[in-house]
Structure 1
Amino acid sequence: MKVFTITAISSLLTLTAALSPPYEPVCETCVYTPNENKCDITTSCTYVWGHDDPHTPGPYYCACRHGYRATGYEANNMEVQWRLPWYGTPSGDPSQEGRVFVKPGVECNTLCDDWYLGKDGCKAVQEKKWCM
């Protein structure tokens, strides 16, 4: 009976996980005014234009210097850092796709792998499309 119960619970948990929507970590924004800006000194509170949702204002995120990512965290930690599908011109030419954004207070002093590739660099940091 114990084995049946454990198997049933395990199956139920697997089914629940399979039917749950994928987890989308929050994209923490920053406030651009100096007295309220909580971005680390190694980042800058940056307005992300090109935001498609007309019901919300364009977000401000703490942006790392080009080619850098969060220090002290794994590159794939989406709770702390992310990239965006941020194109530079109305014609769709990519511009800031390689830039890494972090939650306020996080330091950006770690060079990305392939940092020298411009928009194609920092691919180890995951993209959060839902934050655009």
Structure 2
Amino acid sequence: PACPLQTCDPTPGANGCDISTSCISLTGAVNVGAGEHLCACRHGFRADSTDPKDTSVQVRLPWAGQEGRVFVKPGIACNQLCDAFQLGKDGCTEVVEEPMC
């Protein structure tokens, strides 16, 4: 399966990510495409005003050390606190984990 999210451009000022996110390289993710970047919410947060199961807007990835982090499509704000933000790798499980991006 392909990643449901659009990638971001890591060039400062051109990435399209909301100010509440960062355009980061997915070099540590499982099954990642070389050079891909996604907008990442800060730990413990997910997309605003969005169904957490909507994979067209946000996903989690099987990435050691980043399992609880939520990735969103460019332009989406991440200010909604996750239900289990304090649990680290088990946090934000209300957001669907995709096998690859």
Q: Structure 2: which 5+ residue stretches go unaligned? A: none
Q: Kindly, what percent of the aligned residue pairs are identical?
A: 50
- Which structure has more helix as a fraction of its residues? 1
Q: Report the CA distance shift for 1:52/1:102 in structure 2 as closer, same or farther (over 3 A).
A: closer
- List per-residue Cα deviations over 1:80-126 (Å, max 9, x = no partner): 00000001xxxxxxx00000000000000000001000111000000
Give the direction of change, closer, same or farther, for the CA distance of 1:86–1:40 in structure 2 (3 Å limit).
same
Distance 1:51 1:112, change over 3 A: closer
Whether 2:80 is the aligned partner of 1:110: answer: yes
Deviation at 1:59, TM superposition (A): 1.5
Tell me which of the two structures has the higher relative contact order, counting C-alpha pairs closer than 8 angstroms and 6 or more residues apart: 2
Aligned to 1:45: 23
RMSD, aligned α-carbons: 1.9
Task: State the partner residue of 1:129.
Answer: 99
Greater Cα radius of gyration, structure 1 or 2 = 1
Matched AA of 1:107: A
1:68 aligns with 2:45: yes
Give 1:52 shift: 5.7
Secondary structure of the structure 2 residue equivalent to 1:50: coil
Q: CA deviation at 1:128?
A: 1.1
Which letter does structure 2 place at the counterpart of 1:64? C
* 2:25/2:38 contact within 8 Å kept: yes
User: Cα–Cα, structure 1 residues 32 and 25, in superposed 2: closer, same or farther, change >3 Å?
Assistant: closer
Q: Which runs of 4+ in 1 moved over 6 A?
A: none
**Residue pair 2:30, 2:62 contacting (<8 A) in 1 also:** no
Calculate the TM-score normalised by the size of structure 2: 0.90
> Across the two proteins, how many residue pairs are aligned to each other?
101
Aligned partners of 1:52 and 1:126: how far apart in 2?
15
